[in-house]
Amino acid sequence: MSCSSCGSCVLVKKHSLAHTLVQWTTETDQCVELGWQVDQGVVPTCTRLRDSIENSVRLGAIPVPDL
């Protein structure tokens, strides 16, 4: 899937509603949030990508296993 904001591509697997595995498949240069965070010395995360993933889950594009 790709981020609806910057277009960065990732592989996503949901193990549960709370646990999401993300593997980047493209460079993250175009992501404004990640670039800023690396400069600040914090663990990089992108709220826009997280929102894109959560939206895909709501639409059923990313399956979540039944527990």
- Answer yes or no: are the C-beta atoms of 48 and 4 closer than 8 Å: yes
CA angle 55, 58, 12 (to 5 degrees): 65
Residue 14, strand partner residues: 20
From first to last of its 67 residues, what are the pLDDT tens digits of the chain? 888 888 888 899 999 989 998 887 877 777 777 765 555 555 567 888 899 999 999 999 999 997 4
Residues 31, 8 contacting (CB under 8 angstroms): yes
Asked, for residue 55, whether it belongs to a domain, the answer is yes
Count of domains observed in the chain: 1
In a domain, residue 66? The reply is no
Q: Is residue 53 assigned to a domain?
A: yes
- pTM for the whole structure: 0.76
The secondary structure element, H or E, covering residue 53 is helix 47-59
CA–CA distance, 39 with 43 (Å, rounded to integer): 10
Can you give the residue range of the structural domain that contains 15?
10-59
pLDDT of residue 10: 86
